[in-house]
Structure 1
Amino acid sequence: MANRFMEMYGLSETTRAMVAVKNRGYAVSNPFAQQPGHHTTEEVLSSRMPAYPLRFLECCPTRPRACTTRCLRPCAPFVRRAGG
C-alpha cells in the first residue's frame, strides 16, 4: 500500500522522512505519545527497515491497550418526560 501511494503521488523517501521528523517533533509535547523524539531526516533514513519501504522511525508502534464501553438503561423518569 505504501509503495502504491508513493508511486501515485511521486513521494520520495526523503519526503516521508521529513513527515516523520515533523510528527515526532509534535509528539514531544504530548505526554501520552508512544515515541516522541527530536530526530533528523538522516536518522529516519538510516533507521532499520521492518517492512519495505517503511523505516522504523516512520512507523507507529502499537501497544496493548484496553477499551471499555458502558451500556446503561435509560433513566425511566427522563424517558417519560422526553416522550419516549
Structure 2
Amino acid sequence: TATADSDETEEVSDSEDVPVCYDPVLLIDKVVTDVGGDGPDGVVNAAGDIITYEITVTNDGNVTLTNVTITDPLTGL
C-alpha cells in the first residue's frame, strides 16, 4: 500500500494485489556410474558384482521445498 499526504490534503492511499504463481517442480535423475570396477560401461556377469549409482535431485521450481526424501529399494535408500 502506498500513501500520500500533505498539509493541504487528506491522506490518500492505494494498493495493488499481484497474484503469485507457485510452481513446485522436483526432478530426479539416476545414472550408473560404475559396474564391477569397469566404469559405467562395465558388464554385470556374476552374482555379487557391484553397481554404483548417482542420484541427483533438483528443485527446478520457484518454491522452497522441505522434507524432500529419496527412496530407492535397489540402492537401499
TM over 0.5: no
Q: TM-score, normalised by structure 2?
A: 0.26
* Structure with more contact order per residue of length (Cα contacts < 8 Å, sep ≥ 6): 2
The structure whose residues are more often strand, as a share, is 2
TM-score, structure 1 length as denominator? 0.25
> Which one has a larger percent helix, Structure 1 or Structure 2?
1
